[in-house]
Amino acid sequence: MGDNLFEGLPPPSHQQQAEEKQEKHEEEGQQGRDQLFSSLKTSSSNNSKEASLNPVLKSALKRPKPAEPNPEAAAIEKRLRFKMTTDASETQVIEAMQKIASHIKNPTKFAKASKLAIQLIQAGSVKAGTSEHFFAILEAAMSSTTSCTDPSVRGDYHSLFSAAQDAAECLNKKQKNQLTVWTFRAVMANDLLTDDSFVFSKTASKLKDAISSLPFATEDDDMDEAATLKGETEIGNDENDKKQAIVAPAEENNKDASDPFGLDALIPRSGKKDDRKVKKDVASKSKEDEEETKRFLKSQREALITCLEIAAQRYKTPWCQTVIDILVKHAFENVARFTSQQRAAIEKLWASVREQQIRRKQGKSVTGKLDVNAFEWLQQKYSTEKISIRHSVGASGDRRCQQWLG
């Protein structure tokens, strides 16, 4: 009786059975929903773990922006395109050089014209076919009424003839020599007017080297000093033309008298006359080279004298004095490399420098000390100083050892 709890009770009605079935069905549905929710939860947790392991970039969700152009690449492309569009023929370059040469003589237009000439050099437009016209630009620049050391055009002259060194390979020997002389006047002379002590000292060293490379002057150089080679060649050409005008009719008359029937043309000639002609051409060429060498040396010496005078004018600047002393002294020691009038100018310049040295040493400045520069002060100090050959002797240099007992 204790085993059956429902013993003695009436059987369950149909409605009760239906309710039990409904409850059982709801329980099963609840279990199914719980299983579904648990499965969904596990799947979502797995997805979140994968998402945490592989995060999604925000940039991947955005639309790609259009590529921005690189400014450097655009500039390079623009330069290349500009260079392609500005390529000019040789005829156009020659016309441009002729225009520059016509305007560069004008001091007001010199700055712009010189910059255009520098652009032609940098673009590589100076070649064998255009070198004559380019040299005409330099010649016109140096024929200007304004001096190349004038403050208004000093920097433009310096830039133009410094850039012209890159195109010197396209010039012939005579033009290169002339460019060297112009470089002394337009570049080195302007460097002596600078406020940079390093540039001034470097230019003075170049001048010293140029003076040392000069050959010794001869008596012929002293005789030809006052006369220009151009005038001599013109006089010589006029005299030769007169001689040829006198000799040519006489030779024709002698030829007609010796060969009235013109039979000499039918006789085979020997090569002696041809050899004489070749020798004559070689002699005339060597004579021209000799004259060109003399002209170049004369112009080079004059340019160096000009640079020395410009340097001496800056002697009042304290930091220039030592460099000028050394430079003028070097020129005085090599005075034999100059002609007679130039030797007199260098001696006069050296005497002026020595006089100013003595005046500075004897004069008094505001502080009461001698007006000397650092180099002269050290030179004066160590000229009377006794320096010992041993380190452990007396400071006076008398070689007497002092022992201190402690």
Please check whether residues 367 and 223 belong to one and the same domain.
Answer: yes
- Which pLDDT belongs to residue 81? 43
Is residue 67 in some structural domain?
A: no
Supply the DSSP symbol for 367.
T
Residues 171 and 199 placed together within one structural domain of the fold:
no
pLDDT value at position 222?
Answer: 80
Establish if 105 belongs to a structural domain: yes
Whole-number Å distance between alpha carbons of 360 and 371: 5
pLDDT band at 366 (very low <50, low <70, confident <90, very high): very low
Which of the listed ranges 229-233, 312-316, 362-366 does the model predict with the highest average pLDDT?
Answer: 312-316
Residue 149 is assigned to a structural domain of this protein: yes
Which has more confidence, 227 or 320?
320
- Residue 252, domain member (yes or no): no
Section 141-163 average pLDDT: 90
Each residue's pLDDT tens digit, 161-188? 999 999 989 899 899 999 999 999 999 9
Residue 389 lies in a domain: no
In the block, residue with structure tokens 């592989």 = 54
Q: Angle at CA 219, nearest 5°, toward 215 and 221?
A: 60
Residue 354 inside a domain? The answer is: yes
| Residue 294 belongs to some domain of the structure | yes
Task: Give the model's pLDDT for residue 288.
Answer: 83
- pLDDT for 32: 64
Q: Which residue has the higher pLDDT, 243 or 222?
A: 222
Both 109 and 185 in one domain: the answer is yes
204 vs 220, residue with greater confidence: 204
Residue 211 pLDDT grade (very low, low, confident, very high; cuts 50, 70, 90): very high
* Strand ranges for 187-257 from DSSP E: none
What are the DSSP calls for 146-185, one per residue? S-TT-TTTHHHHHHHHHHGGGGGGGS-HHHHHHHHHHHII
Percent of residues, the chain, with pLDDT higher than 90: 32
* Highest averaged pLDDT of the listed ranges 72-76, 120-124, 141-145, 262-266: 120-124
Question: How many Å from the N-terminal Cα to the C-terminal Cα in the chain?
Answer: 130
Q: 366, 224, 394, 199: which is closest to 299 by C-alpha? A: 224
The domain tally of the chain equals 2
The answer, yes or no, to whether residue 240 has pLDDT greater than 90, is no
What is d(CA 313, CA 375) in angstroms, rounded to the nearest whole number? 20
Contact assessment for residue 328 and residue 312, using Cβ atoms and an 8 Å cutoff: yes
Q: Are residues 187 and 214 in the same domain?
A: no
Average the pLDDT over 356-383 and give the result. 65
Q: CA 376, 314, 324: angle at the middle one, nearest 5?
A: 45
| Averaged pLDDT for residues 80-85 | 40
- The residue among 365 and 183 whose pLDDT is bigger is 183
**Buried b / exposed e along 288-323 (16+ C-beta atoms within 10 A):** eeeeeebbbbbbbbbbbbbbbebbbebbeeeebbeb
pLDDT level of residue 337 (50, 70, 90 thresholds): very high
The predicted structure's pLDDT at residue 84 = 37
Residues 200 and 187 in one domain: no
Q: Based on the domain organization, do 139 and 212 belong to the same domain? A: no
Give, in degrees to the nearest 5, the angle at Cα 191 between 125 and 138: 30
Least confident of 54-58, 93-97, 274-278: 54-58
Q: Interhelix angle for 321-333 vs 340-362, to 10°?
A: 140
DSSP string, 91-148: HHHHHHHHHHHHHTTSTTTHHHHHHHHHHHHHTT---TTTHHHHHHHHHHHHTSSS-T
Per-residue confidence band for 132, with pLDDT thresholds at 50, 70 and 90: very high
Q: Is residue 214 part of a domain?
A: yes
Q: What is the pLDDT of residues 16-47, one digit of tens each?
A: 666 666 776 676 666 666 665 566 556 555 55
Domain boundary among 171, 191, 211: 191
Residue 184 shares a structural domain with residue 223: no
Element (H, E) at 335: none
Question: Cα–chain-centroid distance for residue 350?
Answer: 33
Q: What does pTM read for this prediction?
A: 0.58
Q: Is the pLDDT of residue 229 over 50?
A: no
CB 120 within 8 A of CB 126: yes
Query: For residues 28 and 36, what is the distance between their CA atoms, to the nearest angstrom?
Result: 12
For residue 325, pLDDT beyond 80: yes
Is 205 found in the same domain as 141? no
Average pLDDT over residues 82-92: 61
Provide the residue range defining the domain that includes 352.
195-235+290-379
Is the predicted pLDDT of residue 125 greater than 70, yes or no?
yes
Lookup: tokens for 152: 């208004």
Residue 185 and residue 334 in one domain: no
Q: Is the pLDDT of residue 252 over 60?
A: no
Q: Where are the alpha helices (DSSP H) in 270-312?
A: 272-312
**One domain for residues 204 and 347:** yes
Same domain, 228 and 327: yes
